[in-house]
């Protein structure tokens, strides 16, 4: 869940610093902007899914030993993809990066 908080913080901070508007002024299209964010976050979800599997095997958790690598890895990667979409959605409603961190940890006032 920690990558989810980092992702929301980064997206909101970019909007807070108006970096997206600067990139648009230089000619970047919205499609390229959001596709790059999604590809980066998908790669991170891929990496985290693999590390979760590795640590599950190292600590000899039954779920990782009794199930196929592909199924377990796909489950964690798909969960990461769902969190990427949720992070984009929640981040679009927030205006400050401090709010994003608070919302990411589930401590909304």
pLDDT attached to residue 107: 54
pLDDT attached to residue 27: 95
pLDDT in tens, the chain (109 residues): 788 888 889 989 998 999 989 999 999 999 999 999 999 999 999 999 999 999 999 999 999 999 999 999 999 999 999 998 998 898 889 889 888 888 888 854 4
Q: Which residues of 31-66 are buried (b: 16+ CB within 10 A; e: fewer)?
A: eeeeeebeeebeeebeebbeebbeebeeeeeeebee
pLDDT attached to residue 98: 87
Model's pTM, two decimal places?
0.80
The residue extents of the domains of the chain are 2-101
């Amino acid at each position: 869940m920690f990558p989810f908080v980092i992702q929301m913080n980064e997206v909101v901070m970019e909007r807070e610093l108006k970096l997206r508007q600067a990139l648009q002024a230089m000619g970047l299209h919205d499609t390229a902007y959001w596709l790059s964010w999604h590809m980066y976050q998908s790669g991170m979800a891929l990496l985290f899914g693999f590390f979760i599997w590795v640590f599950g095997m190292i600590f000899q958790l039954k779920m990782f030993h009794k199930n196929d690598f592909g199924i377990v890895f796909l489950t964690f990667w798909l969960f990461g993809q769902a969190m990427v979409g949720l992070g984009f959605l929640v981040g679009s409603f927030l205006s400050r990066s401090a709010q994003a961190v608070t919302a990411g940890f589930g401590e909304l006032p």
